[in-house]
Structure 1
Amino acid sequence: MNIATIFGIIVGIFVLCAATYAATDSVAVFLNGPGLAIVLGGTIAATFICYPLREVARVMGLFVTAFTAEELPIGNYIKDIVTISKNAARGEAELERAIKATDNEFLRDGLQMLVDGYSKEELEEILNNRIQQYHDQETNAAGIYRTMASLSPAFGIIGTLIGLIAMMQTMGDDVARIGPAMATALTTTLYGALFANMIYTPIATKVERRVEERTILMCVIRDGILFIKDKTPAPIIFDKLKGYLPPRSWSSISRTRPSKKRAG
């Protein structure tokens, strides 16, 4: 799990707990089992209505991944592609060794297509289609969490309305019960806003960021495969692929830049 995520979770929990203890003498007033069930159950049920079962089930698995994912080592992949490009000049046997050595499925498939003799146009079309399909599918996953973030506050309000209706029925019996009953009803709105802004929206943002990072990595691999197909010199491949990295990373990766003499 990356440090920023851990820091955000700890600070968020601390601030919420501190605010809760400072706001009331009875923390138990913030505990509302039926309200929690309405918000969680209603949000999940509505999400299943909006999207296919298989897609929602897959997206639920992204919860842990979204909060544990580290930054992708795109610079390392660039160096690997440059090394592969230099070795590829020795023959297909070197490409086959690289296929066995890599654990990235997209890179492995691209190298295999090089070995199989695909044309540059075929390579570009196939790799572009895979990148587009991946981007669209994973972006839809983030969209599901965005939907849940919009539904959660609505079900919070529904729970509050249910609580207020129940409170109105007892108003004539004991006026002293109105305050505690209203406080309990309003906690459901709190749950809805809390889940939307502390869970669903951050997960959606994390997933979207992860999709963009992986899409950039796939573009790096695609361009590297095409450069290898064109027998582009290693220094040129390195300098072109380096453009996918943020400027702050250029200095660190440039220390391993291949010389033209070695590439020749």
Structure 2
Amino acid sequence: MDFISIAGLLLGVLAILVGMLLEGGHLGSLIQPTAFLIVIGGTTGAVMLQSPWKTFRTGVRMSSWVFKPPAQPLATLIADIVSWSATARKEGLLALENKIPRMNDPFLQKGLQLLVDGVEPERLRDVMEVEIGAWEKEMKSAAKIWEAAGGYSPTIGIIGAVMGLIHVMENLSDPSKLGAGIAVAFVATIYGVGAANLVFLPMAKKLQSVIGSLVAQREMLVDGLVGIGHGDNPRIIEARLQGYIV
């Protein structure tokens, strides 16, 4: 669990709410279902319009990575690679074949299979780097739906504000209806700007960071497999891979 993301979100929201209370406001004035529907519904629709379904679905699923990123046991992976290297030096690359079915990661399975099949190390690197590049592009495209949401939501909030003001202008002769229209107008703007700067844009940046870490992990794996293919000493492989751990 990434507690700094939870703390950051709570701190940002609490700072705004407490500031409002200190200014003499009350929290009930921020609860406007109409404004929420306009901003969140409009923003979601705009993002769906610009995105292929697969990209949109992947981006939504990735949102959990903000608070619970995928596990990255780099030390364990390095230990496994060093063990594979020692086995390959003693028994040959074919001795690694029985380890392939035990792997849960398709990327790792593919890399080991290429190694066992006797693919030249540099050719293996080329093949795996193409896959890394394609995966990275797909993940970053999915993460960008949150960046897009951060761009649309303030504008949708302004649309909500204008709609509220239109309602106000239509009811100038009835003072009892003016308050609700003005509230929707201003709260919609707050929802739009707040959602963009407290949620959507930070989420996009966090997901980009997580994707970068996962790409580095895959690059480390490829580097290790290439080292095994070259027949490098396990200690040399371990020392090189330790450089990926910050």
TM-score normalized with structure 2 length: 0.91
8 Å Cα contact 1:29-1:184 kept in structure 2: no
8 Å Cα contact 1:47-1:148 kept in structure 2: yes
C-alpha separation in 2, matches of 1:163 and 1:157 = 10
Deviates more, 1:222-231 or 1:67-76: 67-76
C-alpha separation in 2, matches of 1:71 and 1:19 = 37
8 Å Cα contact 1:30-1:184 kept in structure 2: no
**For residues 1-264 of structure 1, what are the structure 2 equivalents within 5 Å?**
1-69=1-69, 72-89=72-89, 90-174=91-175, 178=178, 181-246=181-246
C-alpha separation in 2, matches of 1:136 and 1:13 = 32
Aligned to 1:260: none
Deviates more, 1:233-242 or 1:153-162: 233-242
- 1:97 CA displacement: 3.4
- 1:155 CA displacement: 0.2
- 1:9 CA displacement: 3.2
8 Å Cα contact 1:131-1:218 kept in structure 2: yes
Deviates more, 1:15-24 or 1:135-144: 15-24
- Closer, same or farther in 2 for the Cα pair 1:71/1:4, shift >3 Å? farther
- Closer, same or farther in 2 for the Cα pair 1:10/1:27, shift >3 Å? closer
SS at match of 1:117: coil
Query: Any stretches of 5+ residues in structure 1 without a counterpart?
Result: 247-264
- 1:28 CA displacement: 2.1
SS at match of 1:103: coil
- 1:163 CA displacement: 0.5
Aligned length: 245
Aligned to 1:250: none
SS at match of 2:72: coil
Cα-to-partner distance string for 1:53-85 (whole Å, 9 max, x where unaligned): 222122111122332115622232122211111
- 1:6 CA displacement: 2.7
Deviates more, 1:230-239 or 1:149-158: 230-239
C-alpha separation in 1, matches of 2:139 and 2:52 = 15
C-alpha separation in 2, matches of 1:179 and 1:104 = 57
**RMSD of aligned C-alpha atoms?**
2.0
C-alpha separation in 2, matches of 1:25 and 1:233 = 68
- 1:187 CA displacement: 0.3
Task: Detail structure 1 runs of 4+ shifted over 6 Å in the superposition.
Answer: none
C-alpha separation in 1, matches of 2:108 and 2:212 = 17
Cα-to-partner distance string for 1:123-172 (whole Å, 9 max, x where unaligned): 12210100100111111112111111000001001000110111112224
- 1:236 CA displacement: 1.3
8 Å Cα contact 1:2-1:70 kept in structure 2: no
8 Å Cα contact 1:82-1:237 kept in structure 2: yes
TM-score normalized with structure 1 length: 0.85
SS at match of 1:61: helix
- 1:5 CA displacement: 2.1
- Closer, same or farther in 2 for the Cα pair 1:239/1:26, shift >3 Å? closer
